[in-house]
Homo-oligomer: A and B are copies of this chain.
Amino acid sequence: MENTKTREEAIEKLNGLIDDIDFAMLTTVDTDGVLRSRPMSTQKAEFDGELWFFTSDRTHKTEEIERDNRVNVSYAEPKDNVYVSVSGAASISKDRAKMEELWNPILKAWFPDGLETPGICLLKVNVEQAEYWDSPSSTLVQVAGFIKALVTGKRADGGENEKINL
């Protein structure tokens, strides 16, 4: 029960942080090992432990993800001093019901024919780690509900930042 609550609180916290940030930078590992990022329009629906982005299966990033599904999604809002790092595993989905749920008229800029645009699909990120800074000079706050990778209980870069369990 305690874990469930922690995860719920983590989700609520992350929702509050990314809610007003319209574009995230999605970093993937390119076929030649190069780390590349690009802006992605973020979902307007409530975040529930997964992040969803509309994309096209005719873009190279869908190939990159099939080869190496590790991604980072970063959110930066300089005016509010909010910086968020989300790590996870990505996959491509063509779930029509999910697309209808997440569709937003602003997406017409990229998908002129809406959900009928050839190649339209969803990029889903299963969130495994999340960290945020609510001012750049502040200590890091780790959103503990998502941490699956840390088996030692010790934060990777604990030397530089404070760890807070929500």
Interface residues of A (CB under 8 A from B): 21-23, 25, 27, 29-39, 41, 56, 58-61, 70-72, 74, 76-79, 83, 85, 87, 109-110, 128-129, 131, 133, 136-137, 140, 149, 156-160
Contact = CB atoms under 8 A, between A and B. Distances in A.
A37 B160 contact: no
Contacts of A129: 34, 36
A117 to B, nearest CB: 12
Contacts of A22: 78, 136
A119 B93 CA distance: 45
A76 B133 contact: no
A35 B61 CA distance: 16
A87 B27 CA distance: 10
Contacts of A158: 60
Contact of A27 (B38, B72, B78): B72
Shortest 5 CB-CB contacts between residues of A and residues of B: A60-B157, A35-B72, A109-B137, A39-B83, A59-B160
A85 B33 contact: no
A83 B37 CA distance: 9
Nearest to A155: B60
A136 B53 CA distance: 14
A74 B24 CA distance: 10
9 contacts: A22-B78, A23-B78, A25-B76, A32-B149, A33-B70, A34-B70, A35-B70, A39-B136, A74-B74
